[in-house]
Structure 1
Amino acid sequence: MSRADQYAYSTTYIRALRSRLLSADLYEAILKAKDEHDVIRLLAETSYSKYLFEHSGKQFDLITLDSTIFQDYYRILQELINMKTTDEANQIFEIILKRHEFSCLKMVMRFVVSRAPPEESAQLIIPIGRYTSEYILGLLKSKDLHQLFSDISDSKIREIALRVLPECEEKNSTLPVEMLGDKFYLDSLWNIVTRLENLDKDATRDIVGTEIDITNITLMLRGKNLGMSFSTLRELVIPIQYRLNKEFDTALEAATTNESMHALSVGQYGETILKVITECENKQTLLPLEITLKRLLVEKCSKTFLGYPFGVGPIIAFLYLKFFEAMDVRTLIMGKRERIQENILYRLLLSIPR
């Protein structure tokens, strides 16, 4: 069977779904909405309508909102897994799902460190895949990180977590586990990408490679904020540099977060970093940089559709765009509820169509 035949149905499926992504005009209209109920009304003709309709005119909490707006994304991801296109594509979709499960675990870890009430914390985490409501609540009841890590069902993640437990306890942070978990999954994803055929490899490699670079940049800078040493950070970062070069090594060795950002500003991502470096320094936050880098990934994904249509690249690109769009919908609804100004809300969005 030819590659075009293998991807024929999934390509048609994604093309149809892509046509339902929110338009630039709708984004603009939502930004001008008077409140969250107006946002839901504007979403009435979109893929979110059947999930949000029951909340029209009602007040709803963050967990209800999250489980509602991400429902369509998770449904699509599961359908792609069930399609059985190629072995490599299925492995990629499975890793994407496992990364979402790992995001659940990240939240669990943070709540355990902060000693938040388990029952209340469980209401703030969206169950996904193997992370059912019952499993999440059980993990949240852990008395400390050692018990939590020991109870992780995934043997590889359990091994990773227990290995860096002393570092987590010393820093009173779960960032070392988060970094190693991201490293494991993105490294696994990269290994699959390198086995793809050439037509499929280029587009997929550009998306995954860019995400690896962005992940390395953001996690390294967060580690700098925590005061992690060069040797620790060197062990935790993903050992893959797609477009990053010597500037990343210089940034790793820098004494402070600001010095690291300046080192990165002369490299492949320099133009992107220079847009927000002053704001990050003045406000002492990495959020503007993280948003700007994610927007760069959105641009990469959007350009993927200009190339060869049959392959896993366009499918991954759509999944990323759909996920970022769902994050934007959440930001817009909550932002309108909190009466955040339009210009400020705009700067928090990730995937506004051009």
Structure 2
Amino acid sequence: MLSDTTLTAILDTTLGVVFTWLGWKTYKILWKYTPYSYPNARINAMEAKLLSEQRLGELAESRTLQNLIVNLEDTDYKNFMGSATTVDELERALERSLASTYLLMEDILPDRVSGFFRLLLEEWDVRNIASVVKAKKRGEPAVDYVLEIGTIVPRVRAMAEAKTMEEILVILEGTPYEEPYQKLLLDEISLTDFETWLYRIYYSKLLDYALSRKDEEERLILGEFVRTKIDITNIITLLRGKAAGLPGEEIRKSLVPGGTLKLDSALNVEDLGMALAELDSTKYGPVIRSVREEAEKDVSAVRDALEDYLLQRVGELTKFYPLSIATALSYILRKEREMRRLRALIRLVASGFSPERIKAIIGGGLAP
């Protein structure tokens, strides 16, 4: 029979183990969820300031660019507009606003995921580098193609002002883009291959970051987000290639690895209509089917529909994981969608389109 002393020792040891386990579980929960409380609350407040359908409809009634500028003064874009008076200046204001949103997310989110938003900014690095190099190749003023958003804007400006193509190689030295540009300079790859290489670098970094997260929920959310973006990129590349009459093997060279789709059957068909039909059996089939008629005329209709799908999917993830990075991703996607619609609205107003026509074009419930 155990003595009282022995029983007490066993009980103390058991209680110690239990409290240690409870302490560890409590710490894990606090580590996992508490860091999202403040940023999510702040993001929820920011979401309330996104332009409503009614507000966008009111902006569509501006009729002149000057009136539109005045009507934007009661929005958050006012802080980035400065003395903007032209379409180009207003678009740059939108870019600065979006860049500030990415940087804010990097600043307020937990350190273990905040770097993802810095990586997202690198998509504009890729766009800028590709646009500048293309402009240089065509002999056009490259500075006109520089977007004021990204992580290496000063380098991009220097590239645009470079007097020779060789000078650009020096500017890109030490970046991941140095090797593909060197290959381009030596005529070892085409301009299309160069651009594809840039995007492969970008998406590889995104996917590596997403899959390296220790927390299972963060890894799942970021992984699905990145893979869906890769799928969208590959679908649009495929459809544009088919619309241009390119053979499947030529299109394949421009696809980005890491997505979920196998596009072999769609690559081997003869035209755009057949490619759309092949995509009907994929998980994106219902989305593509909903814009099939428009897609036959303009592939961008598929891109818009798929981006809306991604926004919807991330919105669903926020419901499953309310205290997670999904909330920030959802806001970013909504902000990007708002910026795209505002850019279209600005151009349409400047071109003299009627308010009714503008509402119909930018869509989203604005049409009468």
Alignment equivalent of 1:156, drawn from 176, 198, 204: 176
TM-score, scaled relative to structure 1: 0.81
Paired AA for residue 146 in structure 2: I
Partner of 1:261: 276
**1: distance between equivalents of 2:269 and 2:163?**
37
Paired AA for residue 326 in structure 1: M
Alignment equivalent of 1:176, drawn from 180, 189, 193: 193
Is 1:325–1:350's contact at 8 Å kept on the other side of the alignment? no
Distance change >3 Å, CA 303–CA 102, structure 1 → 2: same
Shift in Å, 1:215: 0.7
Alignment equivalent of 1:7, drawn from 19, 36, 45: 36
Shift in Å, 1:271: 2.2
Is 1:31–1:345's contact at 8 Å kept on the other side of the alignment? yes
What RMSD in Å do the two structures reach over aligned CA positions? 3.1
Q: How does 1:132-211 map to 2 (within 5 A)?
A: 132-133=153-154, 135-139=156-160, 141=162, 143-144=164-165, 148=168, 151-163=171-183, 166=187, 169=190, 174-196=191-213, 197-211=215-229
Alignment equivalent of 2:331, drawn from 307, 310, 318: 318
Partner of 2:11: none
Residues 1:35 and 2:59 aligned together: no
Partner of 2:99: 74
Unaligned stretches of 5+ in structure 2? Answer: 1-29
How many pairs are equivalent?
A: 335
Q: How does 1:221-240 map to 2 (within 5 A)?
A: 221-225=239-243, 229-240=247-258
Q: Percent identity?
A: 18
Partner of 2:304: 291
**2: distance between equivalents of 1:2 and 1:352?**
41
Is 2:318–2:324's contact at 8 Å kept on the other side of the alignment? no
Shift in Å, 1:219: 1.9
Paired AA for residue 133 in structure 2: M
**2: distance between equivalents of 1:5 and 1:195?**
21
Partner of 1:94: 118
Partner of 2:14: none
Cα deviation code 1:204-226 (max 9, x no counterpart) = 33332221110111123334455
Distance change >3 Å, CA 164–CA 216, structure 1 → 2: farther
Cα deviation code 1:288-336 (max 9, x no counterpart) = 2222222222323444443322222221221222122122212111211
Paired AA for residue 256 in structure 1: D
Distance change >3 Å, CA 351–CA 295, structure 1 → 2: farther
Paired AA for residue 125 in structure 1: V
Partner of 2:235: 217
Cα deviation code 1:61-99 (max 9, x no counterpart) = 41x112212222212222332346133x13312211212
Is 1:233–1:252's contact at 8 Å kept on the other side of the alignment? yes
SS in 2 for 1:237: coil
Partner of 1:114: 138
Distance change >3 Å, CA 84–CA 262, structure 1 → 2: closer
Is 1:301–1:318's contact at 8 Å kept on the other side of the alignment? no
Unaligned stretches of 5+ in structure 1? Answer: none
Distance change >3 Å, CA 224–CA 254, structure 1 → 2: same
**2: distance between equivalents of 1:199 and 1:350?**
34
Q: How does 1:50-65 map to 2 (within 5 A)?
A: 50-52=79-81, 54-55=83-84, 59-62=85-88, 64-65=89-90
Paired AA for residue 73 in structure 1: L
Paired AA for residue 313 in structure 2: K
